[in-house]
Amino acid sequence: MPRTELYPVIEPHESGHLQVTQPHSIYWEECGNPDGVPVLFLHGGPGAGFSPGHRRFFDPAFYRIVLVDQRGAGRSKPYAEIQDNDTQSLIGDLEALRIFLEVDQWLLFGGSWGSSLALAYAEAHPASCSGLILRGIFLCRKQEVDWFMNGMRQFFPAAWDDFMAHLTTAERVDPLNAYYRRLCDPDPAVHMPAAAAWSRYEASCSTLIPSPSTIEAMSSPETSLALSRLEAHYFVNNLFLREGQLLEEASRLRGLPGIIVQGRYDVVCPPSSAWELSKAWPEAELIIVPDAGHSAAEDGTMRALVTATERFKNRLSVPKSSKPARTG
Active site residues: 112, 266, 294
Rounded-to-integer distance, Cα 249 and Cα 184, Å: 32
- In the chain, the amino acid numbered 19 is Q
Backbone phi and psi for residue 70, each to the nearest 5 degrees, phi listed first: -70, 170
Distances from the Cα of 177 to the Cαs of 108, 141, 149, 241, 244, in angstroms? 32, 17, 11, 18, 22
Listed residue (156, 239, 140) closest to 202, CA to CA: 156
CA 77 to chain CA centroid, Å, is 18
Rounded-to-integer distance, Cα 41 and Cα 115, Å: 10
Listed residue (268, 251, 252, 271) closest to 260, CA to CA: 271
3-state secondary structure 66-122: EEECCCCCCCCECCCCCCCCCHHHHHHHHHHHHHHCCCCCEEEEEECHHHHHHHHHH
Rounded-to-integer distance, Cα 199 and Cα 225, Å: 8
3-state secondary structure of 155: coil
